[in-house]
Amino acid sequence: MGPEFLLYLILIGFAVWLLVKEIRFLVRARDCTLYLRGTVDHLYESSRGKYGSRFTPIVVYEYNGERYREEAYHKYHYDVFSVGSTVDIFIDPGYPEHFILAREKRDVWKELAFAAAATAVIVWYVAS
């Protein structure tokens, strides 16, 4: 077992992680079918990188007379949110605390296709 084997193992592990992450996101997007509007209640700095910080919004919305205040899962670094702004969301009626931003639901198949292609390239590279 040389360094090449370790590199292959890391590449395959990354590919599997990426694909599983996208499939889990796809399942959530599939289940979130009810359109609502929410309000950004709070922002917190979820990561800081070379090109700036990423702020994750906490969104408040109502469903069936209940008020929910949940963290939005979002992928895109360039999203700009401001406290008090209105966002379009889709919630899972069976689990109303689960929601997805409307703009992320729109792009879910594109993301899955990218993850599948990246996985295929990595497996092809390792196999050759």
Residue range(s) defining the domain that contains residue 68 = 3-127
More confident residue, 121 or 111: 121
List the single range of 27-31, 95-99, 121-125 with lowest mean pLDDT. Answer: 121-125
Domains in the chain, number: 1
Please give the distance of CA 96 from its chain centroid, rounded to a whole number: 17
* Per-residue pLDDT reduced to its tens digit, 59-118: 999 999 999 999 887 655 556 788 999 999 999 999 999 998 887 766 666 766 777 787
Could you tell me the maximum CA-CA distance found in the chain, to the nearest angstrom? 60
